[in-house]
Structure 1
C-alpha cells in the first residue's frame, strides 16, 4: 500500500511531492521547506504526513514507516499540532531545537507544523531563523489555509503546494473504499459536508452529527421574529456545544486513562498528591481544546447556514444545479418562494459578518443573536 493511496482529488499536489521524495540520483525537485495550503477539509495534514512518510521510508510502499508516521512515533518525525487558538513561542522553540539533530534512521529529519497560521508574528520570526539556516537533512512541512496567513518572509523561504477542494464524487469514493460507507450515504455526506473530508466522515458514520446539522437548518428556517431569533441563538449555541462535546469527550477520557496508567494509578484509584499537578496540566490542555472545539463547532454552523441560503438563492435564480441540502428540498422550495434573491443575499451577508466578528473574538452568543435578528428582519412574516 502506497503512502499516497488514502488521498483524494489532489493529483497535481501528489505528483509534486512524489517527485520531491524520489530517491533517484540527481533529484532536483527537493527543497528543505514546504508550505501546503488549501481550504479546511481539503486534506492538508493528510498530505503532509503522506509526504513525511515518503521522505522517511526507503520507498513509498514502506509499510513500517507509514504506520510509524500515522502513530507519530517515528524517531525522525517531529510534529506540532496545537489544540489552542494560537501556537505558543515555547512550542516552536522546542521544535526548532529538535530540528537541529541529524536523522537517526531515515534519509531526513521531518518537522510538521499543522495550522501554521496560528503563529503570532513573534513566533513566526523565531521559526524564520530556523528556515533561513536549516541543517542539511532537515525538512520543514507547514500547513495553512493560504499563503497570506503567514508572514511574507516565511512565504519567501518555502515552496508552496496548493490544494483544491476535492469533488463530491472523489470524497464519496474515498468514504466507500476506505471506511466502508455505502454509496448513497457517502454521496449525501460528501455533498452536505461540501467536500470537507473529515466532516463527511462524521456525517456518514454518526447519526447524532447528522441530526444536529438538520436541527441547525430547521432552526434557521423557523425564524420569523426577533424573539424567535433570540431563542434560536440559544439553540444553535447548544447544538455547537453538543457537537464539540461529542468530539472531545471520548478523547478526553482516553487521555486521562492513559495518563493514569502511565503514572501507575489503578482505575478508580486515588491520585497521589505529588502526581496531581500532572493531571491538572492535562485537564488545562483539555479545557483549551474544548474552547477551540466549540469555536470550530460554531463556525461549522455558519458554514451549514451559508450552504442553506446558497441553495435558496440558486433556486430563486433558477440555476439548474443540485442543492447541497437536497434532503430538505421541500423546505428549500418554501423558503425560496417566500423571499427574494436580494433578501437572501442580505441574510448571507449577515452570516459572513457574524463569522468575521467571532474570528475577532466577539462573544459567540452576541454574534449569533445579531446574525439571527438580521435574518428575522428579512424573513416573511
Structure 2
C-alpha cells in the first residue's frame, strides 16, 4: 500500500497530491515541476483527515518513488522521526508570534537528506494575528527547498493573504460505508459495530475508531444523547449542564495529567533540580523557576483547550441528534447518525414542531460560538440547556 491509500474517501485529493509529488521529483531533477509549489493549504471538516493527507504528501516528497509506503523515508514520516519534517501541533488555545519566529528560523535550514524541508502546521488557524503576519512573510519569500503544509478547517479560517499564496487541497467528509470498511478491515471491528461507529461519528475517522474500540467513549456519547430527554424543568437543565461541564473537566484532566507530569520531570532534570556537586550551576537551577512557570502556563492553556474540545464534541453530538429529529419530522429518507436511538428521535419529533427543533439547533450553535469567545463554560452550557428544555408530556 502507498501512503495515499490510507486516505479514506479522498480520491480526488489523493490524485492531486500524487501528481504534485511527481512534479516535485521532476523539479529536483532540474525540470519545470509544473504542479508543485512551496505552500499548501489542506482544508476539510473535522475528522476528514487533513493532517493525514498532509503527512502522506510529505512522505511522497521525501520518497524516491513518490510515496511507496514501505521505504525508510515513508517509515520515518509515519513514526515522526524524519529529520527534514517539522510537525507543529499547537497545544494551547493559540500559537503565538514568538513560537512562529522560531519555527521560521528552523524552516529556513537546508534539507538534511537533500530533497525537501517540510513544515506540517496542524491547526494553523490557531495562529494569532501577529503569528500569521510572520508566517505570511516566510511564505512570500521561502527558501528554495522549503515546503509549507498548513491545515485548517476552512479557507476562511486563514488570512486571505496567506491562502492566496497557497495551493488548496479540499478534503470531504468520508462516506459512512468507507469508514466502516476501514474499521472492519484494519481494526478487526465486527461489521455491525463498525457501521454503528461510522454512522455515529458522521465521517470523523478518529472519532469512529474511538467509538468502535473504546467502551468508555460509547458511554460518554450515550450520556450526552440522554440529555434532550431529561430537560423537563429548570433544575434538570442546570443539573445537565453541570454534569456535562464536569465530565469535560475530568476527561481533560485525565488526558493531560500524564503528559504534564513527564514535561515537569524533564524540565526539572534539564535545570539540575535534585542534583548536587561542587560544579553545579546554581544560576541554572534558579533559572528553572521561570521556565517551570512558563511550562505551567502552557499546560493550563492546553487543559483549557482540551476541555473546550471535549464540550464541543458533545455539542456536535447534540446537533446531530436534533438534525435527526428534524429529518424524522419531515419524513426525509436520509441516513440518521443516531439510528440506534430511534425511539427518542420519534418521541421528540411527535412532541415538538420543526420550528422548535431549528430553535434548539440554533441554541447549540450559539453555545459553541460563546465558548469560542471565552464565555464561562458553565454559563454558556446552562443557557443552552434552558433553551433546549421540553414541556412535560
With normalisation by structure 2, the TM-score equals 0.89
How far, CA to CA, are the matches of 1:352 and 1:156 in structure 2?
Answer: 29
Among 166, 190, 196, the residue aligned to 1:158: 166
Label 1:353 to 1:271 Cα distance change in 2 as closer, same or farther (>3 A): farther
2:245: which partner in 1? 237
Label 1:116 to 1:5 Cα distance change in 2 as closer, same or farther (>3 A): same
Q: CA deviation at 1:146?
A: 0.9
Secondary structure at the aligned position of 1:181 is classed as coil
Paired residues, number: 376
Which 10-residue stretch deviates more, 116-125 or 296-305? 116-125
Structure 1 residue runs of 5 or longer lacking an equivalent are none
Say whether 1:347 aligns with 2:360.
yes
1:293-333 Cα distance to aligned partner (Å, 9 max, x none): 10001111110001111111111111122321111211222
2:144: which partner in 1? 136
Q: CA deviation at 1:271?
A: 7.7
With normalisation by structure 1, the TM-score equals 0.92
RMSD: 2.3
1:85: which partner in 2? 93
Confirm or deny: 8 A CA contact 1:40 1:145 kept in the other structure. Answer: yes
How far, CA to CA, are the matches of 2:343 and 2:32 in structure 1?
Answer: 61
How far, CA to CA, are the matches of 1:187 and 1:46 in structure 2?
Answer: 22
Among 18, 34, 38, the residue aligned to 1:32: 38
1:105: which partner in 2? 113
1:2-39 Cα distance to aligned partner (Å, 9 max, x none): 11122111111111111111134543110111000111
Confirm or deny: 8 A CA contact 1:338 1:380 kept in the other structure. Answer: no
Say whether 1:51 aligns with 2:46.
no
Say whether 1:12 aligns with 2:21.
no
Secondary structure at the aligned position of 2:315 is classed as helix
Q: CA deviation at 1:372?
A: 0.7
Confirm or deny: 8 A CA contact 1:128 1:153 kept in the other structure. Answer: yes
How far, CA to CA, are the matches of 1:320 and 1:307 in structure 2?
Answer: 16
How far, CA to CA, are the matches of 1:356 and 1:223 in structure 2?
Answer: 22
Q: CA deviation at 1:246?
A: 4.2
How far, CA to CA, are the matches of 1:271 and 1:375 in structure 2?
Answer: 58
Among 197, 202, 225, the residue aligned to 1:194: 202
1:64: which partner in 2? 72
Q: CA deviation at 1:249?
A: 4.0
Label 1:67 to 1:281 Cα distance change in 2 as closer, same or farther (>3 A): farther
Q: CA deviation at 1:228?
A: 1.1
Label 1:157 to 1:295 Cα distance change in 2 as closer, same or farther (>3 A): same
How far, CA to CA, are the matches of 1:337 and 1:236 in structure 2?
Answer: 26
1:331-375 Cα distance to aligned partner (Å, 9 max, x none): 222111121111111111111111111111111111111111111
Q: CA deviation at 1:264?
A: 11
